[in-house]
Amino acid sequence: MSTEYAASTPSSTDSARSVAEATRAVVQEFLAARLAGDTGRLVALFADEVDWVLAENPVVPWIRPRSTAAECAAQFTELMEHTVPEDARASVDAFLVDGTDAVLTGHVSGTVRATGKSFEGPFALRLTVEDGRITRHHLYENSLSIAEACTP
């Protein structure tokens, strides 16, 4: 291969970096839309069909199976309806990107409106971004603390 040709062809490292940068940009946009409560933007960021995993919890009204972009975006609205928005806290400790996959870890806390009880704990969120849209949303959190806060 000539040096001239090699210099004009992106390397696999450059290609992988570009995929990771695109993934990071979509995830950052997702976080900004969540923070702003922009459900319209969230619908646009989720793919038409999403691999959604959040352990079903019958006593937690905002935790249920979801699969469409609109259902996934609605989770934020439902969460805000059932919790005290000014008590909601989330911090991200790590934001790792590998190609189309991103993993965020951190801590969440809040208060359930109906009971006045608080919940808190660590979380891990795995997102996959394909063609600029989120196709996987797997959230692992302290479901016991949340269930206890929802129980009168």
119: closest CA among 129, 107, 131, 135?
Answer: 107
Q: How far apart are CA 70 and CA 67, in angstroms?
A: 8
**32, two tokens:** 């900004």
β-strand 46-54 against 101-111: which pairing, if any? unpaired
Quick check: 124 and 39 in contact, CB under 8 A? no
CB 109 within 8 A of CB 120: yes
pLDDT given at position 75: 93
Cross-strand bridge partners of residue 104:
95, 125
pLDDT at 135: 98
Per-residue confidence (pLDDT) for residue 56, from 0 to 100: 85
- pLDDT for the residue numbered 10: 57
In terms of Cβ atoms closer than 10 Å to its own Cβ (0-12, 13-18, 19+), residue 136 is: middle
Q: Tell me the CA distances in angstroms from 51 to 38, 41, 127, one per residue in order.
A: 21, 19, 9
In the chain, helix, strand, coil percent, each to 5? Answer: 40, 35, 20
How does pLDDT run along the chain (152 residues), one tens digit per residue? 444 444 445 577 888 899 999 999 999 999 999 999 999 999 999 999 999 999 888 999 999 999 999 999 999 999 999 999 999 999 999 999 999 999 999 999 999 999 999 999 999 999 999 999 999 999 999 999 999 999 99
